[in-house]
Structure formats: C-alpha cells, structure tokens
Amino acid sequence: MKLSSLIRLTALILLVAFIVMPHAFAFVFEPLTVNRAPAIYNQGSLLTLTLQHLRTVVLATLASTVIAVALGIFVTRPSGTEFLPLSRSLVNIGQTFPPIAVLAIAVPLVGFGEKPTFIALFLYGLLPIFENTLTGLTQVSPQTLEAARGMGMNDRQRLFQVELPLAFPLILAGIRLSVIISLGTATIGSTVAAKGLGEVIIAGLQSNNIAFVLQGGLVVALLAVLIHDGLGLIERLAARKLGRSLDEVS
C-alpha cells in the first residue's frame, strides 16, 4: 500500500472514530480548556451534526447539478446561443459575490435556519458546474460532431452519446469544486442557525473555548479534504474509462 493511501485511510479512521465516540479523545483536548470547561462539544451529537451538514451539502449540490447542467446544455444548443455571451459574463460576475454575502442576503427573505443556507449553497454551487459544463461541451471538436452526424445520429443522440460523455470528466470536476465550496459555506451557515458542524466552532468562539474551535475545525477540515480526495478518485476513474473507450474506437 502506498504511503499516501495509508495516510488517507488513517485520517478516515480517526475522523470516523472521533465523530462516533468523541469522549474517547477528551484527553487530547483537555490541556486546551480553562476553568474546567468541557473538552468535548456537549450541546449536541457530533455524528448528528456531521450527517446534517452532509445532507445539506448533498441536497444542494444535486439541485445545482441538475439546473447547471441543463442550463449549460441549453446555451450550447442553436436555440440558446443568444444567451451564451451573457451567461458567461454572469458566471464571472456571480463568482465575485462572497458566499457569506449570499447567505446573509437570503436570511431576511426566507428567515433563519436551513433555508438560507440551502439557497446560498444552491446558487453558489451552480457557478463552477455551469462553467465546467460549458467548457466541456464547447471543447468537443467539430470533427467529432461531424463524424457523429455522418453516422446518422440526430441532435439528441449526439448530445447524449457523444457530447455529454466527452464533457463528463470536466462536469465531475465542477461538481467536486462545488461540493468543497458548499462544505465551507454550510459551516458558515451555522451563523444563521442552520444545523451543521459550524455550530461547534461558533460555540467555541462564543464561550472562548479553544478546544471546541479546534475539534470543530479539525472535523470540518478532514471531512473536506477526504471528500475532495474521494471525488478526485471518481473523476480519474471516469477519465480513464473515457480514455479506454476512445482507444477502443480508434
């Protein structure tokens, strides 16, 4: 087994162990507490918070993926080309909005809790996926499309059997980026009372308990790094599969 895989596996085991039975690790965090403050987050179960955090991210990413890929397909079809220059500019402008601003502006519209977080995650998640869908669909070479047309494929078959499969690895990369941004934004979501791991960090900041801040930070950071790695693995598998099927054709 390679060293890097070993490190990942250890990190994963440690993370799961800590989330499931945090009190076994109390001795690590005790030196950081003062005045006999609790060393382990005591206002909720870390496992529940982690699952809630992940649920928000997964639901929001699913929604943004469906909408962003559909929009990406629309603006690259002949009937949607009039929207292409605008959509490129809007994506560029959209990325200048800090996620926290989207979150904060959503609160007065829909109230505190999960809703503003979901909206911010959904909107912010659209951008990388849409951008990568566009890049993926527009970089399919004209010769490939011509060949598909020559084989008698209609527009629909070309899209589903040629263009989307070729764009798939890039779309996956967009989804990965979107998931990572969402994990971070969902953490900040705790400032607007969404259930998630940010709660631990914010409780630590409010009660001046560095132990909470550190364990919250560690769990969120490890979770993000491991998910990023895992999605990267899927991406490489997809790209390899694509490479092989292309080789078979040629």
Binding site for other proteins (CB under 8 A): 32, 79, 82-83, 85-86, 88-90, 92-93, 95-101, 104-105, 107-108, 180, 183-185, 187-188, 191-192, 198, 201-202, 204-205, 210, 213-214, 216-218, 220-221, 224-225, 228
Query: In the complex with other proteins, which residue's Cβ is closer, 12 or 104?
Result: 104
User: Could you give the CA distance from residue 250 to residue 245 in angstroms, rounded to a whole number?
Assistant: 9
Is the CB of 44 or the CB of 161 nearer to other proteins? 44
**Based on CB atoms, which residue is closest to other proteins, 82 or 247?**
82
Q: What are the phi and psi torsion angles at 27 (to 5°)?
A: -60, -25
Nearer to other proteins, 98 or 160 (CB): 98
The distance of closest approach from Cβ of residue 70 to other proteins in the complex, given in angstroms and rounded to an integer, is 16
Taking the least distance from each CB to other proteins, the nearer of 99 and 174 is: 99
Token pair belonging to 11: 């990190």
Burial class (CB in 10 A: 0-12, 13-18, 19+), 117: buried
Least CB distance from residue 204 to other proteins, whole Å?
A: 7
Q: How far is the CB of 221 from other proteins (least distance, A)?
A: 4
Number of H helices, E strands in the chain: 11, 0
Q: Least distance from C-beta 18 to other proteins, angstroms?
A: 14
Query: What tokens were used for 246?
Result: 């292309």
Q: Least distance in Å: CB of 247 to other proteins?
A: 27
Distance CA 170, CA 164 (A): 10
Question: Between residues 92 and 157, which has the closer beta carbon with respect to other proteins?
Answer: 92
Cβ pair 8, 229 in contact under 8 A: yes
Instruction: Round to whole Å and give the CA distance between 121 and 189.
Output: 9
How far is residue 71 from each of residues 66, 124, 134, 212, 216, measured CA to CA in Å? 9, 15, 9, 42, 36
How far apart CA 65 and CA 67 sit, in angstroms, is: 6
Rounded least distance, CB 196 to other proteins, Å: 11
